[in-house]
Structures are given as C-alpha cells and as structure tokens.
Amino acid sequence: MMITKKGISIIIGWILLLGFTITLALLVFSWSKSQAESLSEETATFVEGRLECTEIAINVVPNDDCSSINVNNRGKLNIDQLVILTFVGTDYDSKIEYKEIIAPKETKTLNLQKSHNKLEIVPSVKINNKLIPCNENRIVNEC
C-alpha cells in the first residue's frame, strides 16, 4: 500500500490562500477606515470654518495710492491672518500675509511698501490650528 502526500499540499494551499485573503481584507479595511476618518475631520473643519466666517466682517480704507491700508475688524471674532493680493494695472504683483491677530473692534494700519492699483484682502480664522480663509468675506479695493 502506497501513501501519497497530495492531500496535504492541497490543504496547505487553501490555508495560505485563506491567510492571504484575510490579511488583504484587513489592510483594505484599515486603509478605508483611516481615509473615512480623515475625510470626516476635513469636512468638519470646513463646515466649522464656514460657520466661523459668518462672524467675520472687515472694513478696509486705503490711502490714495494703496501703499497703506487701515483694516477695521467689525466682526465678533479675531482675525488670525490677512492675505493681501496686490495688483499693478491688471497684473498680479505680490501676495502679502499679515499674521498679527486683529481683535474685534480693533483697527490696524498696514504698510504695503509701494503703491498698487488694486488690492484683494482675504481674512482667515484659525480652527483646530488650521487657517481657514474666508473667501466670501473678501474685500476688493481699486485705487
């Protein structure tokens, strides 16, 4: 009587296939869970930022040649950063980030070093240590 070992190799093959399948399923599950958590965190920050931006209101008064501006925070929250896009003629000139906090009802004077034809000022608020620009509160001034 002869004993063959073919039955054992088939069992080992199935065990390996099952192990690889379970490992792959765990990897895909772990990756999809981290992606979902990341997406939900980004969405929550975005929605919270939009809500915070509704409380932001600024007033900008430039001098005659837009070489300096007075920014008044008329809203209820701190403005954590201002991004100022400057234009000479119709061409983009520079981007200035003003990172000092402007408290509610406070006015700051910003010197822009040279004259400009057009300014776009975008206030930003900090949520969860991330700066969220309030693009809907953008102020455009032409000099």
Residues in the chain: 143
Fold of 54-142: Immunoglobulin-like (2.60.40)
At 53, which helix (H) or strand (E)?
Answer: helix 6-53
User: CA-to-CA distance for 138 and 85, rounded, in angstroms?
Assistant: 11
User: CA-to-CA distance for 122 and 68, rounded, in angstroms?
Assistant: 16
Q: How many CA atoms lie within 13 A of 67 on its CB side?
A: 5
Q: In the chain, what are the domain boundaries?
A: 54-142
**What is the chain's mean pLDDT, rounded?**
84
Average pLDDT rounded to a whole number, residues 57-63: 86
Average pLDDT rounded to a whole number, residues 47-56: 78
| pTM for this entry | 0.64
pLDDT tens digits along 81-130: 998 888 877 777 788 888 888 999 999 988 887 777 788 889 998 887 88
* 1-5, 9-13, 72-76: which is most confident: 72-76
* pLDDT of 2: 61
| Sheet containing 58-62, strands listed edge to edge, beginning at the edge strand earlier in sequence | 58-62, 68-73, 107-111
Would you give the distance in Å from CA 11 to the centre of its chain? 53
* pLDDT of 64: 76
Q: Are 116 and 86 in contact (CB under 8 A)?
A: yes
Confidence bin at 140 (pLDDT 50/70/90): confident
3 vs 26 pLDDT, higher one: 26
pLDDT of 31 > 90? The answer is yes
